[in-house]
Amino acid sequence: MNLIPNQKYLIIGLVLFAGIFAQAQLARDKDMTYTIQPLLGFETVYRSTPRPHTVTQTMYGVRLTGGVDILSAEIEYTQSTGTETFQTAPEKIKSTDEKLKLGGRTLFKLSNIFNFSVRFGGQAKKSKEEVTSTGITTTTEKPVEYSPYLGAAFGLHIGKMNVSVGSTVVIKDVNNMEKNEIQNVVAIGFGI
C-alpha cells in the first residue's frame, strides 16, 4: 500500500486512538473520566498566497477527552477565519480553516489542584480561500491535509471543572519549521 507520509500519521493516530479507547474501557474504576472543553484561542498558520508568510488568527472549537490520567483519548474540532488586506493585487484574502484532531494525552498531577498534560496525534485540515482581486472574488477549496501534532498544557482542576492554557504544534514540514502551525488555547473543561 503506497501511502503518503501524512496518511501514515493519520493511520497511526487512528490505531493509537483505538488502543487508548480500548484501554480506557478496561479501566472501570473511579479514575475513568470524560471531559468536554469549549476552546478559544489564536493560532499562527502558514499561508502561501500571495507570497509565503505566516498569519495569526483567532480560533474556536470543542475538545472531548475520555480515559484515565496516564493515557486518554481525545478528539477536537476547531474552526478559524482570517482576513488579510494588501495594497496590491490580490487586495483581500479571506481564509477559513476547519481542523479535526484525533489523538491521545497524558496527564501529570502536580498537586490536588495543578496539572500538566502532553498531547499527540494526527490532524486533518480543510481550507477554503476567497481571493478578491480587482473586484472579482474567486473561491478555492484546498485538498484535505494530514499532519501530526504535539502539544502541552498547564491546568487548574477544581472539582468537576478545569481550566487549562496550552500550546500545540502541528508539524507540516520538518525541514522548514516556518511552515509548522502553532495553536495557543485557553480551555474550560467540565468533567463527567
Domain containing 88 equals 5-191
pLDDT of residue 19: 58
CATH code of the domain in which 176 resides: 2.40.160.20
DSSP conformation letters of 69-80: TTEEEEEEEEEE
Q: Look at the chain and report how many structural domains it folds into.
A: 1
Please state the rounded mean pLDDT for residues 49-75: 89
- Cα–Cα distance measured from residue 72 to residue 67, given in angstroms and rounded to the nearest whole number: 4
Q: Which of 64-68, 98-102, 151-155 has the weakest average pLDDT? A: 64-68
Mean pLDDT of the chain: 85
Q: Would you place residue 18 in the very low, low, confident or very high pLDDT band (cuts 50, 70, 90)?
A: low
Q: Would you place residue 15 in the very low, low, confident or very high pLDDT band (cuts 50, 70, 90)?
A: low
pLDDT of residue 88: 80
Model's pTM, two decimal places? 0.79
Contact partners, residue 178, CB within 8 Å, separation at least 6: 46, 52, 54
Q: Would you place residue 65 in the very low, low, confident or very high pLDDT band (cuts 50, 70, 90)?
A: very high
